[in-house]
Structure 1
């Protein structure tokens, strides 16, 4: 473990929890709804020769919002990242976002390309970029309705079906049913109520992303074949006119095998 400095930053409508490790060029690791904890092992590896910034996105775990009824849109999350990068004052940065965090970093590249010389969008769920977008959005609305009706296990089964991720029903029941920590339940509710739909409905400005000075890398897990986030990522790469970059593992390869993931990521760092 490397030394980690834990701080908070007040931004409009939120108090952001963030962590800084190491010294050197700045690398930012961000998820949504995933908080900073799953990035810890990857961050420790990169901190040997980089300053590594991780954070909980607004409304999740330790990053508290003033108005819990306000949607955590990609634009708001990108503004949070911009304020964090400026506050740390070690940029411009390499910013890697995973899943909903990948949507956040694309929004950052559009709004503040001066703060990120490279953004790596690892498996962004950009449902609007694929041909079956209307069906996906309809199924997403049904899934959220299932959750809000008091059936989280049923909602997670729908989630796995939409994402085309195979998880046996008994595993879904074991992971998402029964007693769970109150913070996990609060984060889950915020994700379903305030984060998920604004994320999958977001449409990147492909012309703008092609024109900004920020280098945009589209990352896909080697084991993500056939999953929805592979399809959306391939569509993004095609729209940007870039070749996708394969990373070890699947949608959360940085959690399952951080050493291999770090080695691949280092190949992309300046």
Structure 2
């Protein structure tokens, strides 16, 4: 556990080599990165954590709307505690990509390379007001009817599948992870979604930094494909396709790990064994 302003952050460290921070998004936690972290641990010191207010990272004050910048500061403090002054490779998916962008903008010396996977940068869209209004409707639906109807509306609108139920035939650690994720949905709906999607990245920091933008190359095209494409156009940069869809790091773990190594290599980053 790491004490930061307003929270206690749960984190895990595995492997050896240069530091690599994996940052989740939405209602996920460190356990969702366990398969990917296991494959990368031969080449990197892999750091994963639960975002503040989610799973095992408890808030130490009353709950309130969270901001990407606060979570970026958490990542900054976590890397300082684990890696000291050594710059880290950073991979973030969805909100996690936005957290990585904030980290790169405010602490560029800590980031050797950043890979952002399907970042949810809604505020860059030309119809952002429509989406902000929709997410307010999702929140109001949550207030009236609870988590399930609100999450169904949300996932249907953005074109992704919600997490499965923690069925009894699943391995116990998976059941435990899914139970935590279900609890995190309330945090997401009440305190994260509406404020996180107001985040606008620092274009100059991304254009001038070691940054790569990626999407899942398989499955239906989602709102996250659109936000990624919009960000690429805004920055004047390209997009790399990774295996799988929005959770390709779980569904296509081996291919995803290989693609991540390749992109890090293209940005000048190599693992301990030269991958």
Relative to 1, partners in 2 of residues 1:45 and 1:185: Cα closer, same or farther, differing over 3 Å?
A: closer
Q: Deviations over 1:26-53 (max 9, x none)?
A: 1110112311001001001000111000
Partner Cα separation in structure 1 for residue 163 and residue 230 of structure 2:
33
1:187, distance to aligned residue in structure 2 (A): 1.4
1:102 aligns with 2:97: yes
Name the structure 1 match of 2:195: 198
1:58 corresponds to? 52
Q: Larger RCO: Structure 1 or Structure 2 (Cα < 8 Å, ≥ 6 residues apart)?
A: 2
Give the aligned partner of residue 261 of structure 1.
256
Q: Which runs of 5+ in 1 are unaligned?
A: 1-7
Return the offset for 1:103.
Answer: 1.1
Distance 1:183 1:254, change over 3 A: closer
Deviation of 1:70 after TM superposition, in Å, equals 2.5
| Structure holding more strand per residue | 1
Residue of structure 2 in register with 1:116 after alignment: 111
1:41 to 14, 30, 35: 35
Aligned-partner SS, 1:62: coil
Q: CA RMSD in A?
A: 2.0
| Conserved? CA contact 1:92–1:114, under 8 Å | yes
Report the Cα distance in structure 2 between the residues aligned to 1:111 and 1:241, rounded to whole angstroms. Answer: 21
Give the count of matched residue pairs.
253
Secondary structure in 1 aligned to 2:12?
Answer: strand
The answer to whether the Cα contact below 8 Å between 1:224 and 1:230 also exists between their aligned partners in 2 is: no
Deviations 1:75-133 (A, max 9, x none): 00000000011111263011000111111111111111110121111001111111221
TM-score (norm 2): 0.86
CA drift at 1:196 = 1.1
Corresponding residue to 1:78 among 58, 72, 78: 72
Paired with 2:181 and 2:115, the residues of 1 have a C-alpha distance of: 27
Structure 1 residue 250, shift from structure 2 partner: 0.3
1:156 is matched with 151
TM-score, normalization: structure 1? 0.88
Written as runs of structure 1 = structure 2, the 5 A alignment for 1:117-136 is: 117-136=112-131
Matches within 5 A, 1:176-255: 183-211=180-208, 214-223=209-218, 225-255=220-250
Deviation at 1:225, TM superposition (A): 4.6
Counterpart of 1:148 in 2: which secondary structure? helix
Q: Distance in 1 between matches of 2:163 and 2:42?
A: 40
Query: 2:13 matched to 1:20?
Result: yes
Distance 2:200 2:219 in 1: 22
Q: Over residues 137-193 of structure 1, what are the superposed CA-to-partner deviations in whole Å (9 max), with x where a residue is unaligned?
A: 11111011111213322212211232123x5xxxx79749xxx98744431111111
Give the SS at the match of 2:10.
strand
Q: Is the 8 A contact 2:18 2:44 kept in 1?
A: yes
Q: Which runs of 4+ in 1 moved over 3 A?
A: 172-176, 180-186
CA contact (8 A) 2:147 2:185 kept: no
